[in-house]
Amino acid sequence: IGQRGLAAYVTAPINTLATEFGVYFAKGFLYSEEEFYGIYRNIYVKDFANHSLFEGIDSVVMFTAAPVKSRWEAAWAPNGTYSSAAEKPGRYAVMAIGKWGNGTVLAIGDVTFLKEPYCHVADNYRFIVNLAALIANVSRRPLNISAVGIEQVEEPQIPVGTVKTYVERVDGEEWLVRWVKVSEFEVRVERPEGVTHYYYDEEGGLVGWEADGLKCTYEKPLPKPPYPLTRGEVWRYSTSYVLTRGGEEFEGELKGVERVEDFEVVKALDGKSYFCARVAVRVVDKVRLGDLNLTTIVEGRYWVSSEVGTVKQELTYTYYDGGIRVITRSLLLKSVTRGG
């Protein structure tokens, strides 16, 4: 990607690989107007996790580094460092390191500091020595994705502008569904019968949706899954909501429970395989529409990966409205075009 790519906020190519391992390289580069080496974008890093990689190191200098997001963050620029994309000061991570399968994953927001002559600045060379020792001590074994003990799925980091296409099947009929990340707070889903807009808060909770003259607002946001997902993890949620149609308001309530059953490799229609958490879900939705009491029970499973989010769904919708109607609905990922 290089300096030009970072300046233009190009990170998607590396994130295609990085998100498989629970790491995401954010847009832009870091800079400091208070403490820097030579020029503002050459930043000092002095805050490190307790790891052999940082033994004997007081500081390293990075040259046009990208922020790194992960649950395994291990080195941070000083508080007050700026991101060129966000233009906000903060304590940004520049490295992440963690165990994965039978190996170790290391993500670094800069490679220039490992090269001549930059490797001789601050403790950069000592870092290289420690890195070489870490690599030399690794015991290499053949890696078989079906046998590796990967026991979690990290939160997907999907850039704004990403477009996913799915093949949806409903009771034997088939069509395409288009999923678009409009912003950090909105997702648009396009089906032949109409468009639905989903709205989220800063924590990723679903606050409501709009579709074809209907508007639903949840009293409490429906929470996102508690990443990282591990086998056997269970989460529950419940909320009341207001459904608006043609100026009329109807009150409803929703309760759901989800559980990570296992992990599987799912092959999408683009031929790519994704390591996924298989999640069982059951949602009970009750709403009174005038004189009609409608209860909808949704049961089934979905498969979610760290790289692209939902890869597959198999759900059954049972409607109780004086009679009983049952609809089976499945989704399978066909293509992904990442934003950014």
CA gap 180, 165 in Å, rounded: 9
**In the prediction, which pLDDT does 142 show?**
45
Q: How many residues are recorded in the chain?
A: 340
What local confidence, expressed as pLDDT, does residue 42 receive?
94
Looking at residue 175, its pLDDT comes to: 96
At residue 138, the pLDDT reads: 55
Given this model, what pLDDT does residue 340 score? 67
pLDDT of residue 292: 84
CB atoms within 10 A of CB 130: 18
pLDDT at 146: 42
Check: CB of residue 158 under 8 Å from CB of residue 309. yes
Full pLDDT tens readout for the chain, 340 residues: 455 544 444 445 677 777 777 788 888 899 999 999 999 999 999 999 999 999 999 999 999 899 998 888 999 999 999 999 878 899 999 999 987 766 788 999 998 998 888 999 999 999 999 999 888 875 444 444 443 445 688 898 899 999 999 999 998 899 999 999 999 999 999 999 999 999 999 999 999 999 988 999 999 999 999 999 998 999 999 999 999 998 899 999 999 999 999 999 899 998 888 889 999 999 999 998 888 889 999 999 999 998 899 999 999 999 998 789 999 999 999 999 988 6
Distances from the Cα of 332 to the Cαs of 143, 160, 232, 329, in angstroms? 27, 21, 24, 11
SS3 state at 29:
coil
153-337 belongs to CATH 2.40.360: yes
User: Strand, helix or coil at 8?
Assistant: coil
pLDDT in tens, 193-203: 999 999 999 99
Scanning the structure block, which residue is given the tokens 């529950």? 236
- Phi, psi at 128, each rounded to 5°: -60, -40
Name the CA dihedral angle for 144, 149, 155, 157, rounded to a multiple of 10 degrees. -20
Looking at residue 104, what is its pLDDT?
A: 85
CA distances from 320 to 34, 35, 73, 324 (A): 64, 65, 48, 5
Average pLDDT, the chain: 88
Q: Measure the CA–CA gap between 96 and 100, rounded to whole angstroms.
A: 12
Q: What residue segments make up the domains of the chain, in order of their start?
A: 2-150, 153-337
Q: Is the pTM of this model over 0.75?
A: no
pLDDT tens sequence across 131-141: 998 888 754 44
pLDDT at site 326 = 92
Report pLDDT for 13: 65
